[in-house]
Amino acid sequence: MYLPFDVTGMFMNENTFAAMFGRLAKLFGKKEQLLDPADLGKLRVDVHSHFIDGIDDGAKTIEDSLGMLAGMKGLGYQKVITTPHVMSDYYRNTTEIITTGRDRIAEAAGKAGIDIEIECAAEYYLDADLMPKIKAKDILTFGDGYVLFELPFLSEPPNLAEIVFEMQLAGYKPVLAHPERYAFWHQKFEKYQELADKGVVLQLNINSLTGHYSPEVKQISKRLVDKGLISLLGSDCHHDRHITLMDHARRLPTLHQLMDSGLLINQKL
């Protein structure tokens, strides 16, 4: 997704942000002992991705969609729940736009012989439009009423607790996307436990374990895994380079630790 302004006032997108910190990781990160590749097929389901072409910052063309879907199938996934951005200022995706897009890529995947189940939900940005959607129950869910939502990257929204409460009051189960990427909590690690105690499901990006977003994000990811706070693992796949990184992530000890923890619920969805 698009990220806040950097210090020069330029608008950074996810690729620029990740590339910058990826270079830092190579400079300052130390090598990990790599293991045999984990079998991502054991997860069965991916819960966070951007495979629908032309509606957000993920796939641009149907060819992009098919390439990523083939890559996910190659990694062992049997189903993807693709989650386009819903943001009032940037991606004004509706339920109809998303479901129609899902049908389009599912049909194309079938014709291309890519045998993977495709469902859809959304990645809701916590902005002024989210509360009305919750109250109107105009929300795309996955599994047993799970709702994926994300936060601004600059600071914790003052109405976060209220949004979580309203979701639960409406019968939804809130899932916070990539909590490890919110730097405003990196020095307040107790916030993660507080969220989990309130019933918020925490979804980790698999590529956060590689240092793709930053060395700090990788470190927090490991702490979250060590504390047993992660219940869902997602690809947050936007392009084929994310698939390549995921293949590398399969050899990382922290991924093995998480997949062996018995805490992940991906396969139940």
Q: How far apart, in whole angstroms, are the C-alpha atoms of residue 127 and residue 85?
A: 12
Residue-by-residue DSSP string for 184-231: GGTT-THHHHHHHHTTPEEEEEGGGGGTSS-HHHHHHHHHHHHTT---
Q: Phi/psi of residue 204, each to 5°?
A: -90, 140
In-domain check, residue 229: yes
pLDDT at res. 32: 77
Interatomic CA distance for residues 133 and 119, integer angstroms: 20
Residue 8 covered by a domain: no
CB 231 within 8 A of CB 203: yes
Residue 141 lies in a domain: yes
- 268 in any annotated domain: no
Lookup result for tokens 């392009």: 239
Phi and psi of 115, rounded to 5°? Answer: -90, 85
CA quadruple 267, 122, 246, 193: dihedral sign: negative
Q: What are phi and psi of 258, to 5 degrees?
A: -65, -45
> Does residue 85 contact residue 148 with C-beta atoms inside 8 Å?
no
Alpha-carbon gap, residue 73 to 80, rounded angstroms: 9
145-185: pLDDT as tens digits? 999 999 999 999 999 999 999 999 999 999 999 999 999 99
DSSP-based three-state secondary structure for 174: strand
Give the span between the Cα atoms of 142 and 155, in whole angstroms. 27
Residue 11 maps to a domain: no
Note the helical H segments in the chain. Answer: 14-28, 62-74, 95-111, 130-136, 160-169, 190-197, 215-226, 240-249, 253-259
CATH number at residue 36: 3.20.20.140
Which tens digits make up the pLDDT trace of 8-61?
333 345 454 455 444 544 434 457 799 999 999 999 999 999 999 999 999 999
d(CA 94, CA 242): 26
Alpha-carbon gap, residue 172 to 120, rounded angstroms: 16
Q: Determine, yes or no, domain membership for 17.
A: no
Render pLDDT for 71-105 as a digit per residue (tens, 0 to 9): 999 999 999 999 999 999 899 999 999 999 999 99
In a domain, 7, yes or no: no
Write out pLDDT tens, residues 198-246. Answer: 999 999 999 999 999 999 999 999 999 999 999 999 999 999 999 999 9
CB 116 within 8 A of CB 78: yes
pLDDT tens string 245-256: 999 999 999 999
Predicted confidence at residue 27, as pLDDT, reads 38
Please tell me the predicted confidence (pLDDT) of residue 30: 59
Domain count, the chain: 1
Q: How are the residues of the chain apportioned to helix, strand and coil, as percentages rounded to the nearest 5?
A: 45, 15, 45
Range of the domain at 58: 30-263
Asked whether the beta carbons of 266 and 95 are under 8 A apart, the reply is: no
Do the domain assignments include residue 14? no
Q: Is the Cα dihedral 131, 134, 136, 139 positive or negative?
A: positive
